[in-house]
Amino acid sequence: MASLGTEAEQEPLLGHRTPGSREGDVVETEEHYKSRWRSIRILYLTMFLSSVGFSIVIMSIWPYLQKIDKTADASFLGWVIASFSLGQMVASPIFGLWSNHRPRKEPLIVSIFISVAANCLYAYVHVPASHNKYYMLVARGLVGFGAVNTDEVQFPQGNIDQVAVVATNILFFVVLFIFALFETILTPLTMDMYAWTQEQAVFYDGIILAALGVEAVLVFMGVKILSKKIGERAILLGGLIVVWIGFFILLPWGNQFPKIQWEDLHNNSIPNTTFGEIIIGLWKSPREDHSEGPTGCPIEQAWCLYTPVIHLAQFLISAVLIGIGYPACNVMSYTLYSKILGPKPQGVYMGWLTASGSGARILGPVFISHVYSYWGPRWAFSLVCGIVVLTITLLGVVYKRLIAFSIRYGRIQEKTGSE
């Protein structure tokens, strides 16, 4: 059994013949193999350009939202970011079915057209006289609807382990959930903790995400080599542990507190006398000139008065660890899922996986924006750590079932033959 498990984890994701195939099985030709790889590389380029656009937008959503509609708060930010994934989740199964029964160019062209139109709408959401935040919500939802992907249709054979499919979707959901909430909270967190202006937050957080992108590329190259030695499941487990450490480091501690944003107060009274000494020590004159508006942790967030600051070094170390764990978990989830499906038609199944990731990108921003706004980073990141622990437990339970389709099908055939 152990040797079969090793084979399953080390088999190539794409190849001329599925390991364990028998005489009479369908084998792709050399020409088809090369043509498929050309299509895959074009798809990679498309996804890369789409990701670049997404990264540019995600850092500026919070400042943009504040500028176009003063009534928008941090909790509404979560809904705006989630609307992208809601649109993607609705569209993914539809486009998956479409790609299984029609030429795959059709859904791809339609999705690109929707994306272009939606981004144009997003660019002009500042034009209406009122309700601008809702126009942004709709625009981001349409962008997500057009951001779905198509996959290669293959030949059916045998039965898929549905438990492994469901478990992998849950694991992928959590992985995307974790990173979605991290990228959502990045700008508000740094503005609150370090009193950065909107311009500074967009610039510095953009640099941080760019660095994490470079780090992710290195991780992708590293896990490809490492997976041949220890297998995808072990890397997925290790990645989750690294992510847990990253969020645990983010928990606030110490006796240094963030600067309080006083400018929104109508008077100089202290709303909570219990923390009066702390507040007085953090006092900053409301008459200071802020060309870009007030900075610091808003007084409306009561936790700002008693929650220690997350030190910059603490934040950067956490970002590095999350930047290692997330891409490792992401690529291993995709790889395991594809191997579990084997040669089955993957359009609908991949639609489910994309929908699962989209669901994570809906709930992640909404979850973190509300918990962070009302309870602060200590509760928010503690809950994330708890979610990761539960995920690691799930992975341990289904660990032995996350094997390649060919290996599982081979075992079933061996068992049937022996009987």
Rounded Cα distance, 190 and 184, in Å: 11
343, 18 contact by CB (below 8 A): yes
Tell me the per-residue pLDDT of 17-71, one tens digit each, with 9 for 90 and over: 444 444 434 445 677 666 656 766 665 666 666 666 666 666 677 777 878 887 7
What kind of fold does domain 2-256+308-418 have according to CATH?
Growth Hormone; Chain: A; (1.20.1250)
- Residue entry with tokens 């107060």: 265
Q: Mapping DSSP to helix (H, G, I), strand (E, B) and coil, where does residue 98 land?
A: helix
| 417 vs 338: CA distance, rounded Å | 27
Distance CA(327)–CA(300), nearest Å, equals 36
Considering 12-16, 101-105, 266-270, the range whose residues carry the highest mean pLDDT is 101-105
Report the distance separating Cα 158 and Cα 161, nearest Å: 10
Q: Which amino acid is at 317?
A: I
**CA pair distance 354, 172, nearest whole angstrom:** 9
State the DSSP string of 286-327.
TTS--TT---SEETTSGGGGTSPP--HHHHHHHHHHHHHHHH
Mean pLDDT computed over every residue of the chain: 75
pLDDT of residue 149: 54
| pTM confidence score | 0.64
φ, ψ of residue 298 in degrees (nearest 5): -60, 135
User: Would you say 63 and 201 are in contact if contact means Cβ atoms under 8 Å apart?
Assistant: yes
The whole-angstrom distance between residue 369's C-alpha and the CA centroid of its chain comes to 15
Length in residues, the chain = 419
Query: Phi/psi of residue 71, each to 5°?
Result: -80, -10
pLDDT digits (tens, 9 = 90+) for 282-339: 334 333 444 456 788 888 888 998 999 999 999 999 999 999 999 899 888 888 888 8
